[in-house]
Each structure stands twice: as C-alpha cells, then as structure tokens.
Amino acid sequence: MECILLAGGLGTRLQGVIGDVPKCMAPINGQPFLHYVFDYLEQQRCTHAILSLGHKHRVVLDWLKTQQRPFQVDYVIETEPLGTGGGISLAMSKAITENIAVLNGDTMFRIDLNELLNFHTIKKATTTLALKPMHNFNRYGVVHTNADACITRFEEKKQYDEGLINGGVYMINRKTLLSKNLPAKYSFEKDYLEAFVYEHMFFGFSSDAYFIDIGIPEDYNKAQTDFKTLLK
C-alpha cells in the first residue's frame, strides 16, 4: 500500500489562525494535522508514504525527523507550485506499485483504503474517487455516477440539497496517469478528471465514513473537538 500525500498547500484562508505554515502542519490539540493522517495510514497498513511538499517544506521535514513509523517515508519538493496534478505526478517518481492511494494533506476521510483498492481492482478503473454523501452544502461540486458506479460527469460548486462530493482520496493507476503526457504543472481535477471522464474509466467508491476538510477556520476549529473523541 503506497500512499501519496499532497502536503504543500498554502493554507491561505487559515493564515489568520495558524500563521504561515503549510495546512498539513496546522496544530490540532497540540499535534500537526499530518500526525493524525500518519496515524490513519498506520491503521490502514500503509507500507510507503510519499509526501509532495512545497510551501515552507522545511517545517514538514523538521517534523518528519521526530517520527518513527512502521512505514517508509519519502518526499519530493516542488521548486514552484505544480498544481494538484503536478504534485501527484512528481511524487509518483518515488512509487513502485501499479495502483497508488493519493490523499489531500488538509482533509481526513477515514475510508478503508484496502476496500478502496479492492473496488478499484474489480472495476478495472484507471482512477477511483472516494465519494462522501453530503446534504445542504455549497463548498463542493458534485460527482455523478451511473448504476455501475462509473463516474459520468462532474458538476461545479453551488448550493445543493444533497449529493456525492469528491472526498479527496483517490486510487490511481500510475501508468495510465503518466501516459497522458500532461505538463509538469496541471490540475488533477480539471486537467485529468474532468478532461478524461468521457473515457468512462473513473469510478466512485461511496462511503459515509468520517470526513473533515480543515481548509476554512470553522472546520479547522471543529477538528479540535472531533479529534479528541474520534481518534482516541
């Protein structure tokens, strides 16, 4: 189980709360958010974590020196922002397996990664998205699937009564992604998912597992309370 963590986010909307550090290092009850992500990867029997770093990467590297985990940790550093897709492709240079889990460093979606991999393999998907059912929201776009869980289209952010959102966890076939010859800098969501959805090889794995995105102060504060009980 190889996992890429996109951990170079600027945390612009959180700077007034956490200061000038990467979002993944936002403190939650005395520990960086990345600590809880690592705990989750440990529970999921991850064998190799690859961090895609950028803004203030030294803060993350210094923290990594304090960690002793049962999985190997590698990292890549973006010398300039490469977008979500560019960060994934760069990190894949350190990977060896065919299908790789990818997680956002500022969200926690506690799905079973081994179930995600099994689903991805059975569907022969090129990319599988972990989807979270949500009600009464406007922060996220909606992902539409057919009866076979194949993703048919993506709908932009607006007010929704209910829908499936992209939970920020993926299982990606490395060879297929890299075969698209995308530029060094690109958006995984726009330039890969939305651009190639017509191939009907992307699938959605729906789960109602715990989900939080700490990208705004309201949910960052909510994580402080949630993690005290959820992650004991």
Predicted local distance difference test score (pLDDT) of residue 3: 98
Q: What residues are paired with 48 via a beta bridge? A: 2, 72
Q: What residues are paired with 168 via a beta bridge? A: none
pTM above 0.85, yes or no: yes
In a domain, 218, yes or no: yes
CB-based burial of residue 68 (10 Å sphere; 0-12 exposed, 13-18 middle, 19+ buried)?
Answer: exposed
Number of C-alpha atoms within 13 angstroms, CB side, residue 173? 18
In a domain, 77, yes or no: yes
Q: Between these two residues, 30 and 19, which has the higher pLDDT value?
A: 30
In a domain, 158, yes or no: no
Looking at the structure of the chain, the number of domains it has is 1
Give the domain extent around 107: 2-130+168-230
- 157 by DSSP, 3-state: which? coil
Residues 151-186 as b or e (16 or more Cβ within 10 Å = b): beebeeeeebeebbbbbbbbbbbbebbeeeebeeeb
Q: CA–CA distance from 170 to each of 49, 61, 220 (Å)?
A: 14, 24, 22
Which CATH number fits the domain that encloses residue 110? 3.90.550.10
| Helix residue spans in the chain (DSSP H) | 15-18, 33-43, 57-64, 83-91, 113-123, 174-178, 195-196, 217-230
In a domain, 78, yes or no: yes
pLDDT digits (tens, 9 = 90+) for 137-173: 988 999 999 999 999 999 999 899 999 999 999 999 9
In a domain, 154, yes or no: no
pLDDT digits (tens, 9 = 90+) for 106-117: 899 999 999 999
pLDDT digits (tens, 9 = 90+) for 169-223: 999 999 999 999 999 999 999 999 999 999 999 999 999 999 999 888 889 899 9
